[in-house]
Amino acid sequence: MKREYLKKATLTSQSGASDVHDTVQTILDTIEAGGDAAAMEYAAKFDKYDGPVLLSAEDIAAASAKVPQKLKDDIAFAHDNVRRFAEAQKETMHDVELEIVPGLVAGQKAIPCQAAGCYIPGGRYSHIASAIMTVTTASVAGCKHIVACSPPRPGEGIAPAIIHTANLCGATQILSMGGVQGVAAMTFGLFGLPKADILVGPGNQFVAEAKRILFGRVGIDMIAGPTDSLILADETADPFIVATDLVGQAEHGYNSPVWLVTDNRPLAEKVMELVPGLIADLPELNRKNAEAAWRDYAEVIVCANREDMAATSDEYAPEHLTVQAKDLDWWLNRLQCYGSLFLGEETTVAFGDKASGTNHVLPTSQSAKYTGGLSVHKYMKIVTWQRATRDGAKPVAEATARISRLEGMEGHARTADARLHKYFPDETFDLSGVE
């Protein structure tokens, strides 16, 4: 497979990453030992906030009253789309019952986690969409306790739009606490909260590390790195649209990779010509992020043909994958590794990020090779069960006894023996397990 890099990344998404493990571990250990008081101390230190931790119905109503009706309408529109898509996903999960052999029936059940902790980034911006994506899916899955946790602004608290959204989407409690201390509060069941069974939602490197450390003790959606996006484009693509989409994703952060893969060199060159001007036109903070991401992490790759383009994309396994090329069905059937796929110019990653219905909590750093994004399925446990008649148990017990003895597990074998001797006392069985 031949690739020509018109632009090559000088850094990777892990370059320059500080080791935050020790800091996060210390905070978690301190809060676990010190409980509510320790969490409040960290909230005062990092959030500069000493208001109510758990919001009351009156607090929620007051915040909702501050949200303009037009924004409420947009939030309701996005929530409805995400809810309906999540409900359709849930319908794909069915309880199963199968007679394995005559008299032996086995099955599976899908059972939701009881308590979900949804982390919603806050601070400078109101991450409304993250509230929609995390809380709505937990609600549709059937979680009984859903805690929405978000960093408060100093002296103000959580942004009113986040409070309104979390409540609309089904949060049973809203926790005004950010960072590692917020994650710890949900995990350890502080402030009278139920201990979380699963933690979901994006966050900064400290939140991501806290989830990594706590994984196993609680479930998590995924271990997330910097967001990344790849565009596959052929000669039919509009260079301005392609460039705009690349810049739109580069503004996420200084280390957010964006990649263009094409089989058309003139398109690639035109996109590279357009990008700097589009970045320069952004507001200051967005511009700084996009400049650094484009300078240090972006790549522009020219491939020989569309098969090479698809193979390159699968190797990169992007979080977001956009196709702006002819024959979209071919791409849909061919592509294998991505978090979420956007087919055609008429859709874009921002639609999925905010309002179209699919989830924006997605696998990064090539983890799309083995997992998908957040969905109702992440909150569901697939458990199995079985029952048998005595006749149905007979051949299974015989096989179990012999296999167990061959493996050297005599205790296992004797649980099968006991049933055979009880149920069929007049029969003789060869249960030796000898090879």
Active-site residue list: 319-320
Tell the residue number behind the tokens 């810049």, with chain if given: 247
- Listed in sequence order, the residues at least 6 apart from 324 whose beta carbon sits closer than 8 Å to its beta carbon are 231, 232, 233, 234, 236, 237, 238, 241, 242, 344, 345
Q: Which of 140, 185, 123, 135 is CA-nearest to residue 164?
A: 135
Q: b or e along 296-318 (b: 16 or more beta carbons within 10 Å of the residue's beta carbon)?
A: bbbbbbbbeebebbbbbbbebbb
Q: What is the DSSP letter of 416?
A: H
3-state secondary structure at position 191: helix
Burial class (CB in 10 A: 0-12, 13-18, 19+), 277: exposed
Q: Which residue has the tokens 């069974």?
A: 197
**Alpha carbons 63 and 122: distance in angstroms, whole number:** 15
3-state helix, strand, coil in the chain (%, to 5): 50, 20, 35
Amino acid at position 336, single letter: Q
How far is C-alpha 156 from the chain's CA centre? 29
Q: Do 316 and 230 touch, CB atoms closer than 8 A?
A: yes
**200 touches 174 (CB < 8 A):** no
Positive or negative CA dihedral for 157, 159, 161, 167? negative
Tell me if 170 sits within 8 A of 139, measured CB to CB.
yes
Alpha carbon 152 to its chain centroid, in Å, reads 23
Backbone angles phi, psi at 192, to 5 degrees: 80, 10
- Cα–Cα dist 128/125, whole Å: 9
